[in-house]
């Protein structure tokens, strides 16, 4: 049994309402892993001492010359502290505070990304070279987690489509598959089989090319904190947060729909499309409302997380209950 340890005064009221949901998600994973015969959970040791140090914006290199975007929301962003201390990044543990506590072990420099599959110019490219030709944009987006909480985050990034075009996708490129770094020596959560590592995600090619989809390299005008998926992560703001895969090392353009981690672990709960949809409940909870971190009352969840105008056409004629 995993025991959740808290210091006195550590309970944040904003966590209370969705903690039940979150624990249920983790419980499910535990039972799934145990049923699968993984002895990993038995090996879970005593909780390690927490690393109290809080990240401040000044700890991170500033990004300059940022271009504002018409796609940004004018809603107030969540605080830097919310964005960097309440995270899902199972490679560092399943508690919301684990990534902030443990992600400092991730080595993000040097970093390179392999771009392969259905492209005319495949290769392994250093992060600097991947970014060099592009202007960095600030994109203030809503992020809606499948666990029914949300935030507003000022990302810094580049449209994914602009990057992919440089590698010249072939006419056979129908999907894009992404993979997170696999390195248990740096990612302590990967020593336990909570998911089938490495974390994988995927998009249809038209979703990848949609101008809302970005590869983020920063937030709040600074390079990405490790807990948010440094040095390079995907952001797809109209989909549940689990699609926005962190710490990407591989991008593969494919003919077939790729396998994706959450869909493989619980296909009836986490679809490939994972478009935010208040009309389709998660089998174990409603998706009609959400709790914006920092707010007390729940607010209604919007179709496509409020981005329907830009993306609903991508799904014309599709049954969004079946393709959830
Ligand atoms: N590699 C990887 N990417 C991931 C996750 C993860 O556990 N591992 N969690 C996802 C989930 S469920 C959410 S809600 C978002 C959270 O992003 P944030 O911590 O930057 O807010 O990251 C997504 N990307
Ligand atoms: Mo999530």
Report yes or no on 4 lying in a domain: no
Q: Which structural domain range is residue 77 located in? A: 13-315
Report yes or no on 323 lying in a domain: no
Q: Give distance in angstroms: CA of 244 to centre of ligand 1.
A: 6
CB 197 within 8 Å of CB 89 = no
- pLDDT at position 25 is 53
Report yes or no on 31 lying in a domain: yes
Report yes or no on 303 lying in a domain: yes
**Which ligand lies nearest the alpha carbon of 181?**
1
CB 148 within 8 Å of CB 289 = yes
Ordered DSSP codes for 90-101 = GGG-SSTTHHHH
DSSP 8-state symbol, 34 = H
**Which ligand lies nearest the alpha carbon of 94?**
1
3-state secondary structure at position 159: strand
For a mutational test of ligand 1's pocket, the pick from 180, 181, 182, 229, i.e. the residue with the most ligand atoms closer than 8 A to its C-beta, is 229
> Counting atoms of ligand 1 from 1, which one is nearest the CA of 240?
14
Number of domains in the chain: 1
Q: What is the CATH number of the domain that holds 277?
A: 3.90.420.10
pLDDT by 10s per residue, the chain, length 324? 333 334 334 444 444 444 444 444 554 444 443 333 222 222 333 334 444 468 999 999 999 999 999 999 999 999 999 999 999 999 999 999 999 999 999 999 999 999 999 999 999 999 999 999 999 999 999 999 999 999 999 999 999 999 999 999 999 999 999 999 999 999 999 999 999 999 999 999 999 999 999 999 999 999 999 999 999 999 999 999 999 999 999 999 999 999 999 999 999 999 999 999 999 999 999 999 999 999 999 999 999 999 999 999 999 999 999 999
CB 126 within 8 Å of CB 108 = no
- Alpha carbon distance 243, 272 (integer Å): 9
β-strand pairing of 289-292 with 200-204: unpaired
Report yes or no on 7 lying in a domain: no
CB 214 within 8 Å of CB 310 = no
β-strand pairing of 149-159 with 175-180: unpaired
CB 48 within 8 Å of CB 118 = no
- pLDDT at position 43 is 32
Pinpoint the alpha helices (H) of the chain: 13-35, 80-85, 98-102, 127-131, 160-166, 205-209, 261-265, 308-311
- pLDDT at position 54 is 87
Backbone φ, ψ for residue 45 (5° rounding): -85, -165
CB 34 within 8 Å of CB 41 = yes
Report yes or no on 147 lying in a domain: yes
- Alpha carbon distance 216, 212 (integer Å): 12
| In the block, residue with structure tokens 């101008």 | 211
Q: Give distance in angstroms: CA of 294 to centre of ligand 2.
A: 17
> Counting atoms of ligand 1 from 1, which one is nearest the CA of 151?
21
């Amino acid at each position: 049994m995993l025991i959740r340890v808290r210091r006195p005064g550590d309970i944040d009221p904003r966590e209370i309402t969705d903690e039940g949901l979150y624990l249920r998600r983790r419980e499910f994973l535990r039972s799934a892993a145990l049923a699968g015969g993984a002895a990993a959970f038995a090996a879970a040791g005593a909780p390690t001492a927490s690393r109290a140090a809080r990240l401040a914006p000044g700890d991170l290199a500033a990004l300059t010359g940022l271009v504002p975007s018409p796609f940004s929301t004018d809603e107030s962003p969540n605080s830097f502290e919310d964005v960097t201390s309440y995270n899902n990044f199972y490679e560092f543990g399943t508690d919301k505070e684990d990534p902030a506590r443990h992600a400092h072990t991730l080595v993000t420099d040097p970093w390179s990304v392999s771009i392969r599959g259905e492209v005319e110019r495949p290769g392994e490219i250093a992060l600097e070279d991947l970014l060099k030709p592009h202007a960095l944009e600030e994109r203030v987006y809503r992020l809606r987690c499948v666990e029914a909480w949300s935030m507003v985050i000022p990302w810094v990034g580049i449209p994914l489509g602009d990057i992919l075009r440089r590698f010249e996708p072939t006419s056979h490129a129908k999907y894009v598959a992404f993979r997170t770094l696999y390195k248990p020596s740096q990612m302590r959560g990967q020593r336990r089989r909570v998911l089938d590592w490495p974390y994988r995600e995927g998009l249809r090619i038209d979703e990848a090319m949609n101008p809302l989809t970005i590869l983020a390299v920063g937030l709040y005008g600074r390079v990405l904190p490790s807990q948010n998926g440094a040095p390079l992560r995907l952001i797809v703001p109209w989909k549940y947060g689990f699609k926005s895969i962190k710490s990407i090392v591989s991008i593969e353009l494919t003919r077939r729909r790729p396998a994706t981690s959450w869909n493989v672990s619980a296909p009836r709960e986490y679809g490939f499309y994972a478009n935010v949809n208040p009309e389709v409940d998660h089998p174990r909870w409603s998706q009609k409302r959400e709790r914006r971190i920092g707010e007390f009352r729940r607010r209604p969840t919007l179709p496509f997380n409020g981005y329907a105008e830009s993306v609903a056409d991508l799904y014309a004629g599709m049954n969004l209950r079946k393709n959830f």
